[in-house]
Amino acid sequence: MTRIKRPLFGGAIQAFLPDRSVDASTLRLVPNNQEVFMHSDSDQSIIVEILERVDEVSEENAIKYHFDALAEANDAQSGQDHIVDKIESIPIDSLNVQRLTSAWYLFGRQQISKYHEQAKNIVHLHLCLLRLGDDIATDILISFNDPAFVNTQSSSSDQQVQTGSRWTLDDFKEFFCSLEIVDYGLFVPTTTTNDVDMS
């Protein structure tokens, strides 16, 4: 599969996206601190979020903190609705991003009802957390949402495609390993605020 280098956040970040990537901002409103790409033929998505660095937990537990925050946003807060299967450290030297304090990978599952529907789908979540230090103090959270079971009553039931054309974990890894920060001016130093500068 060919890879297309895409500018993110106005070109301040860039990365190679897998084939069949559609920029969600051309279809709906996307928050300024996110870049969202959808698979053109399935319900898969890759999301890049620039977040305030979470310092109230350890480095290793930070990615679990973000996973739990996603579960809350997805209304999957019960123990049965969100499960972590794996957390592991990513070697910093395998990534293109500079000024990292650590990087983490998480694989988990959440039961999510789309658009507040009654029907729940089981979604495999692959997360990559890039933790920037020094005066930036920012967490870059990269999510790969991969539906594993789609309820026939869900509005997503007609968006499933054969395995051969779906994104894989290798596609996701290639994306986050290729991610590069071109302009660190995107981030506001912690002396003022920890949020992303969108002015």
In-domain check, residue 196: no
In-domain check, residue 180: yes
In-domain check, residue 195: no
Tell me, what's the pLDDT at 178? 96
Task: Encode pLDDT of 2-49 as tens digits.
Answer: 566 789 999 999 999 998 999 999 998 999 999 999 999 888 999 999
Tell me, what's the pLDDT at 148? 84
In-domain check, residue 112: yes
In-domain check, residue 193: no
3-state secondary structure the chain: CCCEEEEEHHHCEEEEECCCEEEHHHCCCCCCCEEEEEECCCCCEEEEEEEECCCCCCHHHHHHHHHHHHHHHCCCCCCCCEEEEEEEECCHHHCCCCCEEEEEEEEEEEEECHHHCCCCEEEEEEEEEEEECCCCCEEEEEEEEEEEECCCCCCCHHHCCCHHHCCCHHHHHHHHHHCEECCHHHECCCCCCCCECCC
In-domain check, residue 199: no
In-domain check, residue 144: yes
The CATH code of the domain that includes 39 is 3.40.1000.10
In-domain check, residue 191: no
pTM here is 0.85
Query: Within the chain, which residues score under 50 in pLDDT?
Result: 155, 161, 192-194, 199
Tell me, what's the pLDDT at 161? 47
Tell me, what's the pLDDT at 193? 44
Tell me, what's the pLDDT at 106? 97
**Count of structural domains, the chain:** 1
Q: Which residue segment(s) compose the domain that 150 sits in?
A: 4-186
91 strand-pairing partners: none
